[in-house]
Structures are given as C-alpha cells and as structure tokens.
Amino acid sequence: MPYREALAAQQARNDAIAAGEAAELIWLLEHPPVYTAGTSADAAELLDARFDVVETGRGGRHTYHGPGQRVGYVLLDLSRRGRDVRRFVHALEGWVIATLGDFGVESWAVSDRIGIWTRDVDGSEAKIGAIGVRVRRWVTMHGFSVNIAPDLSHFSGIVPCGIAEYGVTSLEKLGITLAPGAWDEALQARSEAFLAALSD
C-alpha cells in the first residue's frame, strides 16, 4: 500500500478510536519504496531523495520502507492501558525481539539508539528493525518495521534514524528465508503477551 494512503488511514482510525467509534488495530503491511521523516529529522541526513519523502508526525528521524520489509502499525488506546508511553515503546521492542528470537535471531534494544539491533554476518552490530511512534489523545500510531528481505542498498539514500556508524541488515542477509505470512503468524502468536505487557 502506498505510504501516504496508509498514513491517511491511520490518522482516520486514530481519530475514530479516540472518539470511541472504532476498535483498536494492529495492521501489518508493506509499502512501495519511500523515505519517511520523523519530527527530529535532519535534512542533512537525506543523502539521496531517490524515492518519495513523506513527513509523518511520528517521533524519530529518517527511515526507509519498501518491499521485503514488514511494517506494523499499532493503534491502541493507552487511556485504557495505563497511559504509559515509555512502557508502550518497551513492550513494542520486546514483541519484535521475541518474534525474531522465534526464528533464531538474537536481537536487542539499546537505550541511546532507537531501533532493534543484532549481529550482522561480519559480527558487527547492525539494525534489523526500526521503532517510531506517535501518540494523539492517548491513542498510538505508527509502530515498527522489520527487514525480512528488502533491497538494503535503498537505505543508502539516508542516514537511517540518524545513526551513521552502524549498518542495516535483514533476515535474508543473515541467511534466513522467511515469507511475510510466516512472520505475521509468529508475531500474532505473541500478540497477547505484548498486550499483557502494557498492563503489568
């Protein structure tokens, strides 16, 4: 789905959830190639605007979305779930990390670096997933992305999330072939634990 269409749909659903007119939503999808800019984006970190660049309103800097990458939009009503944005972000990280572990990939969050990190094929630390959220009227938007088998050269048009000293990797680069549906099923199997973590 084109990114701008998904963003408009998220904004409408966010409004509807806040008004009590729609259910919460976890939405898994894929976008055509696009660079997105968060509220902290630095124009100097957009190195080659070869794809559409969209300002999103989420936190964070520039990131890339494209084919072979699973994007998860998480629209939850935190007014019913403790109103704790930090806990929400940590639970989101934990959900992605646990699901990657189901496929034999050890990954982790780093307190001073946004995203989900793992060991690349050369042993260096590299980003395998991105996290970026926005909260409007206590309803969350945006969420995470995980690199299953994207064209990693597309990340070279930006400084991903403003972090130049580390690379980007994918399940495919790590030697793991995975259909998007298999990722979705594994993520869904852990969704109850993710939601429970919001109310612990």
What string of DSSP letters covers 78-130? GGGTTS-HHHHHHHHHHHHHHHHHHTT--EEEETTEEEEEEE-TTS-EEEEEE
Q: What angle do CA 75, 77, 80 make, to 5 degrees?
A: 155
Angstrom distance (rounded) from CA 139 to CA 18: 6
Run of H or E residues at 72: strand 69-75
Catalytic one of 7, 161, 163, 171 = 161
Residue 39: what are its φ and ψ, rounded to 5°? Answer: -70, -20
Angstrom distance (rounded) from CA 111 to CA 104: 23
The answer to whether 63 and 160 have CB atoms below 8 angstroms apart is yes
Q: Give whole-number Cα distances, 115 to 4, 24, 61, 180, in Å.
A: 23, 24, 11, 20
H helices of the chain, where?
3-18, 85-102, 180-189, 191-197
Note if 161 is an active site residue: yes
Residues known to be catalytic:
161
